[in-house]
Chains A and B, each alone.
Chain A
Amino acid sequence: MIAKPAIPDVLREPGPGIGKPLSRVDGPLKVTGQARYAAEFNVPGLVHGYIVSSTITKGRITRIDTAAALRRPGVLHVFTHENRPHVAWFDRKWKDEDAPSGSPFRPLYDDRIVHAMQPVALVVAETFEAAREGARLVQVEYEAEPHETDLAARRHEAFTPGKEKGGFEPPPKPRGDPDRALAEAAVKVDVEYVQPTEHHNPMEMHGSTVVYNDDGTLTVHDKTQGAPNSHSWVCSVFGLSKSAVRVISPFVGGAFGSGLRPQHQLFMAVMAALQLKRSVRVELSRPQMFTFGHRPPTIQRVALGAAPDGTLQAMIHEAVQESSQFENYVEIVVNWSGQQYRCDNVRLDYKLARLDVFTPLDMRAPGAATGVPAIEMAMDELAHALRMDPVELRLRNYTDRDPNQDKPFSSKELRACFAQGAERFGWSRRNPQPRSMREGRQLIGWGVASGVWDAMQGQADARATLGIDGHLVVASATADIGTGTYTVMSQIAAGTLGLPIGNVTFKLGDSALPMAPIEGGSWTVSSVGSAVLAACERVRGRLYKLAAKMEGAPLGKAKPADMVLTDGHVALAADPARRVPIAEVMRSGGVLAIEEEARSVPYYVKRAQHTLATHSAVFAEVRVDEDLGTVQVSRIVSAVAAGRIINPKTAGSQVMGGVVMGIGMALEEETFMDHGLGRYMNHDLAEYHVPVNADIGSIDVIFVDEHDEVVNPLGAKGVGEIGIVGVPAAIANAVFHATGVRVRELPITLDKVLAGLSRRSAA
Chain B
Amino acid sequence: MRAFSYSRAESVADALKGVVGHGETKVVAGGTNLLDLMKADVMRPTRLVDITRLPLNRIEETAEGGLRLGALVTNADTAHDERVRSRYPMLSRAILAGASAQLRNMATNGGNLLQRTRCYYFYDTGTPCNKREPGSGCGAIGGVNRIHAILGASEHCIATHPSDMCVALAALAAEIRVTGPRGERTIPFEAFHRLPGDAPQIDTNLAPDEIVTAIDLPARGFAAHSTYLKVRDRQSYAFALVSVAAALEIEDGKVTAARLALGGVAHKPWRDQAAEEALVGRPADAGSFAVAAEAVLRDARGFGHNDFKIDLARRAILRALQDAAASETP
Contact = CB atoms under 8 A, between A and B. Distances in A.
Nearest to B121: A681
Given A674-B139, A683-B124, A691-B234, A758 B318 contact: no
A677 B123 contact: no
B241 interface: yes
Contact of B312 (A133, A684, A692, A754): A754
Interface in B196-253: 231, 233-239, 241
Interface stretch (A614-622, A623-631, A721-729): A623-631
A674 B146 CA distance: 12
B128 to A, nearest CB: 9
Interface in B27-48: 39, 41
Contacts of B2: 133, 136
Given A672-B120, A676-B142, A750 B234 contact: no
Contacts of A629: 312
Contact of A687 (B118, B142, B241, B312): B118
A136 B41 contact: yes
Given A674-B139, A679-B126, A681-B144, A628 B234 contact: no
A653 interface: no
Contact of A632 (B235, B241, B311): B235
A759 B142 CA distance: 26
Interface in A71-107: none
Given A287-B124, A689-B238, A674 B143 contact: yes
A694 B233 contact: no
A548 B49 CA distance: 79
A755 interface: yes
B120 A681 contact: yes
Nearest to B3: A133
Range of interface residues on B (Cβ < 8 Å)? 20 to 34
A754 B124 contact: no
A692 B139 CA distance: 29
Given A674-B139, A684-B123, A627 B315 contact: yes
B142 A694 contact: no
A692 B235 contact: yes
Main SS class of interface, B? loop
Contact of B315 (A667, A694, A754): A754
A132 B41 CA distance: 10
B315 A692 contact: no
Nearest to B233: A689
Interface in B140-169: 142-144, 146-147
Contacts of B236: 692-695
Given A672-B120, A684-B123, A628 B235 contact: no
Nearest to B147: A687
Contacts, number: 91
A628 B144 contact: no
A583 to B, nearest CB: 51
B118 A677 contact: no
B308 interface: yes
Contact of A668 (B144, B234, B239): B234
A65 interface: no
Contacts of A686: 118, 237, 239
B127 interface: yes
Contacts of A217: none
Interface string A547-584: 00000000000000000000000000000000000000
A686 B139 CA distance: 19
A751 B312 contact: yes
A136 B231 CA distance: 37
A632 B234 CA distance: 9
Nearest to A629: B312
Contacts of A694: 234-236
A751 B308 contact: yes
A677 B143 contact: yes
Interface in B278-330: 308, 311-312, 315-316, 318-319
25 contacts: A55-B126, A136-B2, A136-B41, A287-B124, A627-B315, A627-B316, A627-B318, A627-B319, A628-B312, A668-B233, A677-B139, A679-B124, A681-B120, A681-B121, A681-B124, A681-B127, A681-B143, A683-B124, A692-B235, A692-B237, A695-B235, A750-B241, A751-B146, A754-B311, A758-B311
Given A53-B126, A129-B1, 8 more contacts: A136-B41, A628-B316, A672-B120, A674-B139, A676-B143, A682-B120, A695-B234, A751-B312
